[in-house]
Amino acid sequence: MSDSTANKRISERDKKHLWHPLTQHKTHSEMLGIARAQGALLYDEDGKEYVDGISSWYTCMYGHCNPFILERVMDQMQRLDQVVFSGFTHEPAVQLSEKLIEVLPNNQEKLFFSDNGSTSTEVAIKMALQYHFNKDQKRNVILAFEEGFHGDTFGAMSVSGLSVYNGPFEEFFIDVERIPVPTTENIEQLLKHLKKRLKKNNIAGFIYEPLVQGAAAMKMHCAEHLEKILSLLKKQEVLLIADEVMTGFGKTGKYFASDYLETKPDIMCLSKALTAGLIPMGLTTCTEEVYMAFYSDDVAKGLFHGHTYTANPLACTAALAALELLQTDAIQQNIRDIMEWHRKFDEEIKHHPQVSNTRQLGVIYALDLNVQTERYGNLRDKLFKHFMDRGVFLRPLGNTIYILAPYVTTREQMERIYGAIKSVVGLV
């Protein structure tokens, strides 16, 4: 790199070669250069400070550059950095499996590693379809919620219900049927519909974001209604796939959103906070019953899916350190503190005429502004700029503003987030 190039700003050099995710570059060509991060704070190339109010897409829940996690990973780097996971194994993967099984719902027994949230759901969908195929059952339909989001790879897109992501690809999708998220008003009709639909006996699995639909603007549904759906489907041998990529690892106030439900999933999808945002990794877990449908003398009945960086030792070490932190009294107290701060903030803002709805589960808090707008319309851009100008990083979804800040966020930092939101609705 030449001296003249090195002296240019990060944001200027970015434009030459980089193509960013979820970005229409013709209308959004400017990218903010982030130079460093620590705890709940990001710093741009000019030194301006921002509170990371969404944990950089729900990953850095223990804060950026957490010294405890960094030290553990740096130590692992000196011993084993990467090795093929087909035909080999290693201590970080084995230890992570042992520690995760202790906190996962008690029916989970097997872990399959991949690279990210999308691939974790991709593996789950393949597991569900091949499970029935291996048992000579013709079940080729996946059931999913309307407005769900499960990732950007083809299987994950197929079961997602957000057309802005899926439009050009829908003719290539697997066979998916959607049902509305359960409410008090529709639950009985929904159960009636499902009982009738299940008579065709061709639904392989049901994939769902338990209790909170993240990309759908943090829409929430209650455990009581979801439990009725899961219980009914379970009786008909439909595999239950809980996508906890967003909700997992303490965000809902329990280790997993599935912990609020009596009927446990057959398959779970994990990523994001799994490795505390340090290194990409996905994980698909399942019951012994699911695993045994692939356990055979017939090689073709195996799950032929693999990734180059499957169970990367550094990622496994980061996940182990993150899990250890999650179980500490300090982090658990921080989670309780944030939940209480959100409750008090909600009391202050929920009756404002510019606020049409508020909701909270664990450390996840969302409010809807009383205005109609498109998901990626001008309001979203104006809100984003409003927050960034005030040193707060939030990514509104349409008219929805949500908070999912790191567990290490201080009261003062959270008040900065609340203050930026209150200034939007004219409270300050």
pLDDT at residue 161, rounded to an integer = 84
Give me the mean pLDDT over the 101-122 stretch.
Answer: 98
Query: Is residue 230 within 8 Å of residue 258, measured between CB atoms?
Result: no
Tokens of 28: 């959004």
pLDDT of 1 over the 60 cut: no
- The residue extents of the domains of the chain are 3-63+328-424, 69-326
The pLDDT assigned to 377 comes to 65
* pLDDT reading at 32 higher than 90: yes
Q: Does the structure show a pLDDT above 80 at 415?
A: yes
Do the Cβ atoms of 53 and 395 come closer than 8 Å?
no
Q: In angstroms, rounded to a whole number, what is the distance separating the alpha carbons of residues 48 and 42?
A: 8
Q: What is the pLDDT of residue 375?
A: 60
Which range has the worst mean pLDDT, 159-168, 254-263, 322-331?
159-168
Measured between alpha carbons, how far is 317 from 95 in angstroms, rounded to an integer? 9
Q: pLDDT band at residue 29, thresholds of 50, 70 and 90?
A: confident
CA atoms within 13 A on the CB side of 178: 14
104-108, 163-167, 194-198, 295-299: which has the minimum mean pLDDT?
A: 163-167
Model confidence at 347: pLDDT above 60:
yes
Mean pLDDT of the chain: 95
Distance CA 108, CA 117 (A): 18
Distance (Å, whole) CA 325 – CA 10: 33
- Euclidean distance between CA atoms 126 and 122, whole angstroms: 6
CATH of 69-326, one of 3.40.50.10600, 2.120.10.30, 3.40.640.10, 3.40.50.12780: 3.40.640.10
pLDDT at 18: 94
Mean pLDDT of 88-101: 98
> pLDDT of 370-408, one tens digit each?
987 766 568 888 999 999 999 999 999 989 999 999 999
pLDDT at 22 over 90: no
Q: Establish whether domains 3-63+328-424 and 69-326 are of one fold.
A: no
Q: What is the CATH number of domain 3-63+328-424?
A: 3.90.1150.10
For the chain, the C-alpha Rg in angstroms (whole number) is 22
> What tens digit of pLDDT does each residue of 147-175 get?
999 999 999 999 998 766 677 888 889 99
Percent of the chain with pLDDT over 90: 89
Taking the C-alpha atoms of residue 421 and residue 416, their distance in angstroms, rounded to an integer, is 9
Burial class (CB in 10 A: 0-12, 13-18, 19+), 173: middle
Alpha helix positions (H), 265-393: 288-292, 313-326, 329-349, 378-389
With H, G, I as helix, E, B as strand and everything else as coil, classify residue 247. coil
Mean pLDDT, to the nearest integer, of 402-428? 95
The amino acid present at 192, given as its one-letter code, is: K
Name the DSSP letter for residue 299. G
Average pLDDT on 72-100 reads: 98
**pLDDT tens readout for residues 273-303:** 999 999 999 999 999 999 999 999 999 999 9
Show Cβ contacts of residue 365 under 8 Å, excluding neighbours closer than 6 positions: 342, 345, 346, 358, 359, 402, 403, 404
Residue 178: the pLDDT is 97
Residue-level pLDDT at 4: 54
Spatial separation of the C-alpha atoms in residues 363 and 340, rounded to whole Å: 9
